[in-house]
A and B are shown apart, each in its own frame.
Chain A
Amino acid sequence: MVEHRPWLTFLTHAILLLGCLIIAFPIYTTFVASTHSLETITSFFPFLPGRHLIENYQQALTVGSGEVGATVGSMMLNSLIMALGIAIGKISISLLSAFAIVYFRFRFRMFFFWMIFITLMLPVEVRILPTHKVVADLNMLDSYSGLIFPLIASATATFLFRQFFMTVPDELCEAHRIDGGGPMRFFFDILLPMSRTSIAALFVILFIYGWNQYLWPLLVTGDESYYTLLIGIKRMLDVGEGQADWHIIMASTMLAMVPPVLVVIFMQKQFVRGMTETEK
């Protein structure tokens, strides 16, 4: 800080603290609700955690709620498979295509590059029905490949790796060629280890992206054994005029938030790096 103004410093801290509290408030109430019985939640609003934590989470994980037909445990597994599949898939195919575009000269190189660029402009939301039809025609509805493959094309990842490969000194490649090494050896032995930090940063972002997908799993899953957790929570809310199982819904929502939030908190450096490098 430039000048010493104790009062202003105090005010700044107070505002930040208040901001953090307001931002955290919805999550806190969710956590509190997930530790009470349904009767307690519906009759008055508890401010402090109750004694049903283990019971509620156990019921969510092993039994589930209402007529969803899948346990939170199995839906979390689906979310995890989808998130990992998307993150690993996007990173792998983007590394390969960036390698081709940077280290080879071939016909249609720039054409391919622009084709990958176009995917940025076509999120699932603008082509809902035709994409659903393609996946249905390929018999990929209700399958992990249907959940994962349509989402793994990635312009941002390709651009990021392309940028990074451009900064790799030419001497490394020259030395490798003089030693008689082929392109794939160069890719696996030199480029891949050098890309570690970019891969880690992207992985964090893409894991969160994959875990938080909603529209796409909604379109391709009809069979509850392929529901991701977020789809399952929405189904738990659909009780019509009946009483929703709020204690189970809140426990499930906590479980849906925990993996990506932990990733952000414990890999904050990679997260911030990934955000600022992929989005610009």
Chain B
Amino acid sequence: MEKRVIFKNRVLPYLLVAPQIIITLVFFIWPAFMALYQSVQQEDPFGLKTTFVGLDNFAYIFTDAIYLNSIKVTMIFSFSVAVIAMSTALFLAAMADRVIRGATTYKTFIIWPYAVAPVAAAVLWYFLFNPTVGMISFFLKAIGIDWNFTLKGGQAMVLVILASAWRQISYNFLFFLAGLQAIPKSFIEAAAIDGASPAKRFWTIAFPLLSPTFFFLLVMNLVYAFCDTFGVIHAITEGGPNEATNIMVFKIYHDSFESLDLGGSAAQSVILMFIVIALTVIQFRYIERKVHY
């Protein structure tokens, strides 16, 4: 799609795109190249000279038990967040789509947690589940569960998943509800006249028609869990206990600024970069979208 009527000017268009392009080059493309470059370099302990080591950094991290564990943790974490946030949101959206009275009020009350930052959400859940002052941890102890996420890896994982999924419910709800409301009422009415129950109508009509929304949200939730949940991990567990919640993005941060392992963290960055690029390509290439290029 091209405009028929345009302005003619030799210099102006370059000036107009310049701010965006300069920022993109300086803060996006150049650092990405540096990450690629550093991932094939090894720096000596004093930072005096670097040598080209080819794919040694990659070979090293893939034999490193801590990194392999971090991949496993990231997968469990990301898919759990996506499944919990999406199923809860779909359920609530299906309910909200049914009601006539009060629909807008419910919508407002369900979407506002989206405005809460992941790290603020982390603080809320950290407080509730805190072993010494938390209300929920108190009740868990009362029913005989030995709750202490600062020592038990599995419990720490449950907590960071809950804290991360909670605000994502709002996001998914918004898109599922929009998807459900876009389904022509005549489909639903025709099925109802044929005697299909509300549950049957949902699974045989609404759910299949929602599949584009479903896949779009799956990709968005995975990207969210891979990248944006850094704050949740940083505030609640710092990757612990015993690496149980050490997701890839947190490990990159830790190796860059605490362990100062430049080559290793660059190699990890490159791998995460490829995962995010792959997810973005899937989203734009295979998922129905409104933007046309």
Please report A residues at the B interface, Cβ cutoff 8 Å. 1-3, 5, 8-9, 12-13, 15-16, 19-20, 23-24, 26-27, 29-30, 33, 41-42, 45, 92-94, 96-97, 99-106, 109, 112, 115-116, 118-123, 125-135, 138, 149-154, 158-159, 163, 165-166, 170, 173-174, 177, 182-184, 186, 208, 211-212, 214-215, 218, 230, 233-234, 237, 246, 249-250, 253, 256-257, 260-261, 263-265, 268, 271-272, 275-277, 279-280
Query: With A19-B95, A166-B3 known to touch, is A131 a contact of B119 (CB < 8 Å)?
Result: no
Contact for B13 among A8, A104, A159, A174, CB less than 8 A = A104
What CA separation (Å) do A24 and B220 show in the bound complex? 23
Give the 9 A-B residue pairs with the shortest CB-CB distance, closest first. A212-B117, A130-B34, A100-B16, A130-B31, A260-B115, A104-B13, A214-B231, A26-B124, A125-B227
Query: With A9-B99, A128-B269, A170-B5 known to touch, is A20 a contact of B110 (CB < 8 Å)?
Result: yes
A-B contact pairs, 29 of them (CB 8 A): A2-B189, A15-B91, A15-B95, A23-B113, A26-B121, A26-B128, A42-B133, A45-B135, A96-B17, A97-B17, A102-B3, A104-B13, A115-B29, A119-B24, A125-B252, A125-B276, A129-B38, A129-B262, A133-B34, A149-B27, A152-B23, A158-B20, A165-B3, A184-B12, A215-B253, A233-B235, A234-B234, A263-B115, A272-B174
Min CB distance, B12 to chain A, in Å?
A: 6
Min CB distance, B134 to chain A, in Å?
A: 8
B112 and A246 contacting across the interface, CB-CB below 8 Å:
no
Min CB distance, A210 to chain B, in Å?
A: 11
Min CB distance, A256 to chain B, in Å?
A: 5
What CA separation (Å) do A137 and B116 show in the bound complex? 33
Query: With A120-B280, A253-B123, A264-B112 known to touch, is A212 a contact of B13 (CB < 8 Å)?
Result: no
Chain B, 116-154, CB within 8 A of any chain A CB: 116-121, 123-128, 132-133, 135, 138
B120 and A257 contacting across the interface, CB-CB below 8 Å:
yes
Min CB distance, A77 to chain B, in Å?
A: 17
What CA separation (Å) do A9 and B95 show in the bound complex? 9
What CA separation (Å) do A4 and B169 show in the bound complex? 29
Contact for A128 among B100, B135, B256, CB less than 8 A = B256
Chain B, 43-84, CB within 8 A of any chain A CB: none
Q: B285 at interface (Cβ–Cβ under 8 A)?
A: no
What CA separation (Å) do A135 and B27 show in the bound complex? 8
What CA separation (Å) do A230 and B230 show in the bound complex? 13
What CA separation (Å) do A3 and B200 show in the bound complex? 14
- Chain A residues lying within 8 Å of B292, measured Cβ to Cβ, are 163
Contact for A130 among B38, B111, B113, CB less than 8 A = B38
- Chain A residues lying within 8 Å of B210, measured Cβ to Cβ, are none
What CA separation (Å) do A16 and B289 show in the bound complex? 30
B117 and A230 contacting across the interface, CB-CB below 8 Å:
yes
- Chain B residues lying within 8 Å of A1, measured Cβ to Cβ, are 98, 100
The interface size bin for chain B is 35 or more
- Chain A residues lying within 8 Å of B256, measured Cβ to Cβ, are 128-129, 132
Min CB distance, B60 to chain A, in Å?
A: 17
What CA separation (Å) do A231 and B178 show in the bound complex? 34
What CA separation (Å) do A272 and B114 show in the bound complex? 11
- Chain A residues lying within 8 Å of B19, measured Cβ to Cβ, are 92-93, 96-97
What CA separation (Å) do A2 and B198 show in the bound complex? 9
Q: B21 at interface (Cβ–Cβ under 8 A)?
A: yes
- Chain A residues lying within 8 Å of B272, measured Cβ to Cβ, are 125-126
What CA separation (Å) do A150 and B26 show in the bound complex? 8
Contact for A246 among B127, B269, B273, CB less than 8 A = B127
Min CB distance, A173 to chain B, in Å?
A: 5
What CA separation (Å) do A275 and B231 show in the bound complex? 22
Q: B40 at interface (Cβ–Cβ under 8 A)?
A: no
B7 and A123 contacting across the interface, CB-CB below 8 Å:
no
- Chain A residues lying within 8 Å of B128, measured Cβ to Cβ, are 26, 29
Q: B102 at interface (Cβ–Cβ under 8 A)?
A: yes
Q: Which residue of A lies closest to B113 (CB)?
A: A23
- Chain B residues lying within 8 Å of A94, measured Cβ to Cβ, are 20
- Chain B residues lying within 8 Å of A9, measured Cβ to Cβ, are 98-99
Contact for B252 among A99, A128, A166, A260, CB less than 8 A = A128
Query: With A16-B95, A45-B135, A261-B112 known to touch, is A3 a contact of B192 (CB < 8 Å)?
Result: yes
A276 and B175 contacting across the interface, CB-CB below 8 Å:
yes
A16 and B35 contacting across the interface, CB-CB below 8 Å:
no
Contact for B166 among A26, A256, A260, CB less than 8 A = A26
Query: With A23-B109, A93-B19, A250-B127 known to touch, is A131 a contact of B235 (CB < 8 Å)?
Result: no
- Chain A residues lying within 8 Å of B5, measured Cβ to Cβ, are 170, 173-174, 177
What CA separation (Å) do A30 and B123 show in the bound complex? 9
A30 and B127 contacting across the interface, CB-CB below 8 Å:
yes
- Chain A residues lying within 8 Å of B276, measured Cβ to Cβ, are 121-123, 125-126
Query: With A104-B13, A106-B14 known to touch, is A246 a contact of B133 (CB < 8 Å)?
Result: yes
What CA separation (Å) do A30 and B130 show in the bound complex? 13
B24 and A116 contacting across the interface, CB-CB below 8 Å:
yes
- Chain B residues lying within 8 Å of A115, measured Cβ to Cβ, are 21, 24-25, 29
A118 and B106 contacting across the interface, CB-CB below 8 Å:
no
- Chain B residues lying within 8 Å of A151, measured Cβ to Cβ, are 27
What CA separation (Å) do A118 and B19 show in the bound complex? 16
A268 and B23 contacting across the interface, CB-CB below 8 Å:
no
What CA separation (Å) do A112 and B123 show in the bound complex? 41
